[in-house]
Each structure stands twice: as C-alpha cells, then as structure tokens.
Amino acid sequence: MAKTIFEEMGGTYVRQGEYLIPCLSLPEEEQKPCGVWGQQHLRYLKEYHRVTYANLLTSGKLNTYLAGIDRQAQEQFEAFTEQMRQAQGITERLKEENALEWLGRMNNIRACAREIVNEEIIFA
C-alpha cells in the first residue's frame, strides 16, 4: 500500500477499532507567566479572532505571545498612571494630608489608564 502524505512527512497512525487515527501533538512551548492583561487578551482572541487564536495555539507560540502582550500592557499601564499622576499634581504630601481625596483621584487615574490600555493593546 502506498504511503500517505502524512506518513511521508513522518506521521504515524494508531488503530482504534476499525479506524486509523493520526498521532498529533502540539509543539513544545516554554511556559511563561501570563497575568491579567494576557488573560483578557486570550478571552478576546477566543471570542473575536478564532483563526488567530488557532494559529498561535497550533504553532506553539500562544503562551509567548500572551506573555509579551501582558508585559507590554503592564508597562503602558504604569507609564500612563505615572504621567497622569504628575500632570494632575498628585503627590505623597496630598496622600498624607487627605488620604481619601488622594485615593479617589488615584482610582480615577487607574481607571482611565486601564481604559487606554484596553483600547490600544488588549482589544486591538
């Protein structure tokens, strides 16, 4: 019997009952930590960009890609937060004098920075 293209490329089959099932496995990938931003982007890919998700998953590059997105998003979030904090004049002195006002203003800045990162990196 002639070999199939799959067998010519080094693939093998396993017999299960009357059927021959190809032995498939994903390439090994280095596991890198993926934080909140990476998880959000993963959900976005699964829901709205299934082809990109499938390509990254089957090529073994999904975890590396998500770790990169997570790192980039975290860096942007911290940079935006610091820039807005300086632009609005929020200092440690304000924190000492009026902690509630400082907290409210910082929460507002973090929310704005989170929206910018989501728009520019996570859901783009």
Return d(Cα 102, Cα 94) in angstroms, integer: 6
- Residue 91 pLDDT > 70, yes or no? yes
Find out whether 60 and 27 touch, Cβ atoms under 8 Å. yes
- Residue 1 pLDDT > 70, yes or no? no
Q: What is the pLDDT of residues 41-88, one digit of tens each?
A: 999 999 999 999 999 998 889 999 999 999 999 999 999 999 999 999
- Residue 26 pLDDT > 70, yes or no? no
Structure tokens at 24: 């498939």
The number of residues making up the chain comes to: 124
Model confidence at 31, pLDDT cuts 50, 70, 90, reads confident
- Residue 22 pLDDT > 90, yes or no? no
64 Cβ contact list (under 8 Å, min separation 6):
29, 30, 32
Q: How many CB atoms lie within 10 A of CB 60?
A: 13
Is 32 in a helix, a strand, or coil? coil
How high is the pLDDT of residue 38?
A: 96
Structure tokens at 30: 């280095």
* Long-range Cβ pairs for the range 97-101 (8 Å, 24+): none
